[in-house]
Amino acid sequence: MPKFIYIIFGLMTCFWSAFAQEWKAPEEEKENVSIRLFDNEIETEGGVLFMNSCKSCHGSPTQEDFSLMLPSPGDLASAKVQNQTDGELFYKIRAGKGAMPKFGDALDQNEIWSLIAYVRSFNESYKQPEPNLEGVVIPNITLNLSFDDNVDKLVVKTLDENGNPMPDVTVKAFVKGHFGNYLLGKSRCNELGIAYFDIDSKMPGDEEGNMDIIVKASKGFGSAKVTQKMRVVDAVSFKSAIEGRHLWSVSKRAPYWLIVTFLSSLIGIWGTIIYVIVGLPKIKKQS
Ligand code: HEC
């Protein structure tokens, strides 16, 4: 057999595997829906995750700037994606396939739904299906924050409505800053319902070392958020920059050596000029 037949066969198998295998979600997952409303908040959360985890391959939705690979990741605002149900998208993001990573381990349910909320925000004809909340238990999370200054760690305790520890809660801690919130970290509570976050004692707090700490927690569809002012860093004393005698101080507070140098150069320069002026008639006379 001529060689080119093998080549044609090879190419055909490649194209077959690349295009013909339509990626389908299992039937039982197709009707899954989010029980959190796709509002601005969840869309924004999803947008941040998308920038960090998806944009490198899928590009910005509607911009058709996805990476070139086979099978193509495609634009997630395209009709091909938007015609699928929320449950199908949820399954594909959770399970992955080939080059599409499996995000089920790295992201919790809430985060995957937030990605779908973000991707749906590019489809003006999308209408979020109403969830059937019967039989769904939404965990009621209470958060308790403290600071362990022996190890410089923020300690977050998650409790259920009876005050018992709630394990396996995803917790994120932030520090409120002047230019938005700084993420301290993301963690999952241990079996005692506790998560720890390192705090750098050199971060800038106020005069007493207080910072506004924001903690967000989620488990299943339950979520909780607290903001608390806490003493977590070294106290800083704000000294005025012109207090004391510095080079950049006002004239009243300039260092003594500077005043002496300045005045003596002033006297020196003017003295020379006056000496020359006084001596001019003498030079004229001599010439
Ligand atoms: C490393 C590249 C890469 C990253 C990162 C990536 N994807 Fe994908 N994605 C792909 C590829 C490739 C496919 C096509 C897989 C196939 O059809 O076999 C795909 C397919 C999909 C599909 C199904 C599209 C369809 O047409 O059915 C969805 C939905 C999806 N990705 C969402 C996401 C989301 C959300 C993220 C971020 C959390 C993400 N992807 C991150 C490469 C990637």
Higher pLDDT, 52 or 183: 52
Structure tokens at 197: 């976050």
Is 45 within 8 Å of 116 (Cβ atoms)? no
- Give the model's pLDDT for residue 73: 95
What's the gap in Å between 35 CA and the centre of ligand 1?
Answer: 23
pLDDT class for 201, splitting at 50, 70, 90? confident
131: cis peptide before it, omega within 30°? no
pLDDT class for 19, splitting at 50, 70, 90? low
Kindly give, in sequence order, each residue whose CB lies less than 8 Å from that of residue 139, ignoring residues fewer than 6 positions away: 160, 166, 169, 219, 220, 221, 222
How many CB atoms are located within 10 Å of the residue 233 CB?
A: 22
Structure tokens at 163: 């005050």
Inter-residue long-range contacts of 93-100, CB under 8 Å, 24+ positions, other chains counted:
97/23, 98/71, 99/57, 99/69, 99/71, 99/73, 100/57, 100/73
Place of tokens 């005045």: 263
Q: Is 25 in the pocket of ligand 1 (CB under 6 A)?
A: no
Q: Which of 229, 214, 233 is nearest to 173 (CA)?
A: 214
Ligand 1 atom closest to the Cα of residue 107 is 38
- Give the model's pLDDT for residue 196: 95
Q: Which of 224, 173, 241, 159 is nearest to 203 (CA)?
A: 173
For range 95-115, the mean pLDDT: 93
| Residue owning the nearest CA to atom 11 of ligand 1 | 73
| Residue owning the nearest CA to atom 5 of ligand 1 | 54
For range 88-110, the mean pLDDT: 94
164-175: pLDDT as tens digits: 999 989 898 999
Is 161 within 8 Å of 140 (Cβ atoms)? yes
| Residue owning the nearest CA to atom 20 of ligand 1 | 73
